[in-house]
Structure 1
Amino acid sequence: MRIGVIGAGAVGGTFAGLLAAAGHDVEVAARGAQLDAIRAGGLHLDGGWGEHTAAVQANPTLTVRPELAILATKAQDAATALAANATRLEGVPLLVVQNGLGGLRVAHEELPDSPLLGCLALFAASYLEPGHVTVTGANPVVIGEGPGADRALLERVGALVGEALPVELTDDLVGAQWTKLLINHVNALPAITGLSVQEVVADRRLRRILSASMRETVRVARRIGVRFGKVQGVSGRVLDLLGVLPLALGEQFPRLLARRMGAVPNPGSTLQSIRRGQLTEIEFLNGAVVDAATEHGLSAPVNAAIVALVHEVEGTREFLGVDQVAARVPV
């Protein structure tokens, strides 16, 4: 099948490399050094799903109309990327693979005639140098229906992607998105401190801040009527407990997430953006919690403080120490 992947970073590169290895005709839309490296030597993928060098086509925008498109840019870049590729995507099924909330809404606004599916990438991958992506956690993806899609399309795309990597289908995409949003809270503190996720969780004060941001998120979600979906063995019932347990007990959840990542230091996607000198998607992660709280007359001071600190590091390119972070996040 002809597959177009828009965004060839850690997540998009993983999809592109594995789908090409499964025998599909893959073209990626990439930029800058990543585009140059893929054109020169292919896309090299290693780690959890083996080692592959995929000879994918690479261009600034898609040059051929695909039979399936995959959007894997950062959330803040989605609208621009879709607009740039719109002539090739009208009516084409689009799999939206993004962190946070709002990705399907943005895609529907840009491509109202395309059937959309939402995808949560639970695997961990790092794009640390052009043309090279390393999978550090070989976990499945979760796919659910979005605007214009039906169960038949969901099952067809699920089967196709399942040829390349593990897939789970969900009937409650919104609940699954909120669960993934909560898991993605592990990204912010590495971006602020320059530490890996495992190092953040190992530090007593940072782990407490992370747990507090998760507890606050659960409380906001429950107040606005969100029911957390089961993702990667994490059930809504477990997450509901985070909203009522003391922080000392709630800290077991980030410990579990860190253990699942294994021993290879995981920088998290937000820190990877900082290191590349790019703006982060923090407004679609912890910032989405702040926005949801504000919309319903609630507050989320822990998440708001974390968002502000990430933006500060974006501007200064200087990481903060644990003492600085602990003094500025209200836990």
Structure 2
Amino acid sequence: MHEIVPELSIQKAAKGLRICVAGAGAIGITLATRLSISGHSVSVLARGESLVAIKKNGLSLMDAEGEHRAHVTVGTADELQNADVLFLCAKAQDLESLAEAVQPLIHPETLVVPFVNGIPWWYFQGVEGRHAGRTVLAVDPRQRLKRLLPEQRVIGAVTTITAERLAPGVARTRNPLRCVIGEIDHRRSDRTDRLAALLAESGIATRVTERIRDALWTKVVANLCSNPLSVVTGATLRDVCGDPSLSIVSRKLVDEGLLVAASFGARLELDPSSLLAMGASMGDFKTSMLQDYEKGLPLELAAICNAVMELGELEGISMPFTRTITILSQFKSSMRQKAPYVESERTNAA
């Protein structure tokens, strides 16, 4: 049963909350900047060139409202105060190391809000049924995330933010910023309502749901049908989801994902045609996976593809199309990481 923890962090006045954004990629920059310019106390956990750049120049975000600059506290976990709300903005394969790094920032009432792609480590937590408490091995093979980030602290979050990291501490986004949040045990709580209000007043359209896994599966299937295929083809979202030829392949990936989602009782919030139309409407943006591929970085295949196939196997569902595209993506990625690397100036997150 999901334990209800003391809600100090939602009883405080919103502007008095200590908010930390862990991760300074495109999504982290976007989130931290929007929160900061709305008057919140925001710190950013960063490292390397991002840490240096943000200390010197602050954050810069270009969005539909114009250009924003924000000066935030930035540092390592040992240098920052603990947080009332801790946003985890990292690639799924980097989440375990980030979860270890943020431990000094967590106090007994900290809310942990992971903005990550794919099936999350908490998928089987907070719910009853024959798989209750099970570990999704594709995303938490050592079961470290379950121990480092206890379920009673976690708020489920699904983001639809298309942003580009132009340089350390600098990002751009053209599309609307949207988020869905909910308790992972599907109860309604004051803390989710207040967190949604905090995000909404910061310019991120946010709604609360009592079925967070429906919103989760909607994005998982959207990622499943676009990210690995973009690596195989080199195509942008417009073509992956809208080109007459490629969209046939995308639809097959959607159909396999839908079967798995349905087997776990999830109802997608968009039908397949609308899901593909939404992807095509994002325009000529490269998926985050394609950008990672072009930079020679590891891909989020474990969370976006392997975890879905793992869940499918639990229900006896075969996913041959997904498996084939995943194998091709992984092979291309392996070959690319062996090749000489020239850093792209742009990193897109979709």
- Do the structures match in fold with TM over 0.5? yes
Superposition pairs of residues 100-179 of structure 1, within 5 angstroms: 100-104=118-122, 107-112=145-150, 115-146=153-184, 151-164=189-202, 165-179=204-218
Question: How far apart, CA to CA, are the structure 2 residues paired with 1:138 and 1:312?
Answer: 34
Residue 154 and residue 13 in structure 1: after superposition, are their counterparts in 2 closer, same or farther (change >3 A)? same
Equivalent residues of 1:274, 1:317 under 8 A apart: yes
**C-alpha displacement at 1:103, in angstroms?**
3.8
Of the structure 1 ranges 307-316 and 148-157, higher mean CA displacement relative to structure 2 is found in 148-157
Matched, 1:70 2:110: no
Query: Any idea what SS the aligned residue of 1:227 has?
Result: coil
Q: 1:282 aligns with which of 292, 298, 301?
A: 301
Matched, 1:228 2:247: no
* Alignment partners' CA distance in 1, 2:257 and 2:30: 29
Which range is displaced more, 180-189 or 206-215? 180-189
Query: How far apart are residue 276 of structure 1 and its match?
Result: 3.3
Q: 2 CA distance for matches of 1:157 and 1:103?
A: 21
Post-superposition Cα deviations, 1:51-73, rounded to whole Å, max 9, x if no partner, equal 21111222233621112111111
CA contact (8 A) 2:62 2:172 kept: yes
Match of 1:38 in 2: 54
Question: Bigger shift: 290-299 or 191-200?
Answer: 191-200
Partner in structure 1 of residue 133 of structure 2: none
1:210 aligns with 2:250: yes
How far, CA to CA, are the matches of 2:313 and 2:166 in structure 1? 36
Q: Which residue of 2 aligns with 1:84?
A: 101
Cα distance between partner residues in 1 of 2:235 and 2:166: 15
Q: Residue type matched to 2:293 in 1?
A: I
On the 8 A contact 2:186/2:211 being kept in 1, the answer is no
| Structure 2 CA distance for partners of 1:38 and 1:275, relative to 1, 3 Å | farther
Report how far residue 76 of structure 1 moved.
Answer: 1.4
Task: Looking at secondary structure, tell me which structure has more helix per residue.
Answer: 1
Q: Which has the higher contact order (CA 8 A, sep 6+)?
A: 2
SS of the residue corresponding to residue 137 of structure 1 reads coil
**Residue 317 (structure 1) aligned to one of 336, 339, 345:** 336
Instruction: Name the SS of the counterpart of 2:174 in structure 1.
Output: strand
2:41 alignment partner AA: D
Q: CA 1:202/1:25 → structure 2, altered by over 3 Å: closer, same or farther?
A: same
- Structure 1 residue identity aligned to 2:111: P
Identity %: 28
Shift of 1:297: 2.3
Cα separation, partners in 2 of 1:220 and 1:315, compared to 1, 3 Å: same
Which residue in the other structure is 1:327 paired with? none
Query: Cα offset for 1:199?
Result: 2.9
Please state whether the residue corresponding to 2:245 is helix, strand or coil: helix
Q: Aligned partners of 2:37, 2:187: CA distance in 1, in Å? A: 27
Give the alignment partner of residue 321 of structure 2, picking from 292, 302, 320: 302
- 1:82 deviation in Å? 1.1
Partner SS, residue 309 of structure 1:
helix
Residues 155 and 182 in structure 2, CA contact (< 8 A), matched pair in contact too: yes
Structure 1 residue 258: deviation in Å? 0.9
Aligned positions of 1:42-57 closer than 5 A: 42-57=58-73
1:224-281, CA deviations, whole angstroms, 9 ceiling, x for partnerless residues? 2322243xxx2xxx3xxx4xxxxxxx5x74234312x1x4x21111122223332121
Q: 1:200 to 1:54 in 2, by over 3 A?
A: same
* SS of equivalent residue, structure 2 residue 122: helix
Give the Cα separation in 1 of the matches to 2:294 and 2:178.
26
Partner of 1:97: 115
| Deviation readout 1:34-81 (Å, 9 max, x if unpaired) | 222222211111123432111122223362111211111111111211
Q: After the TM superposition, which of the residue ranges 162-171 and 61-70 deviates more from structure 2?
A: 61-70
What is the rounded CA distance, in whole Å, between the counterparts of 1:97 and 1:27 in structure 2?
A: 16
The equivalent of 2:280 in structure 1 is 258
- Tell me if the contact between 1:108 and 1:116 (Cα under 8 Å) persists in the aligned partners: no
Separation in 1, partners of 2:92, 2:65 = 25
The answer as to whether partners of 1:49 and 1:138 remain within 8 angstroms in 2 is: no
TM norm structure 1: 0.82
- Report the residue type matching 1:312 in the other structure: F
Look up the SS of the partner of 1:266 in the other structure.
coil
Q: TM-score, normalised by structure 2?
A: 0.78
Aligned pair in 2 of structure 1 residues 24, 284: CA closer, same or farther (>3 Å)? same
Answer yes or no: is the 8 Å Cα contact 1:196–1:267 preserved in 2. yes
Deviations 1:76-125 (A, max 9, x none): 11121111111221421111211111243665431327521011111211
CA 1:313–1:60 in 2, change beyond 3 Å: closer, same or farther? Answer: farther
Distance 2:35 2:260 in 1: 38
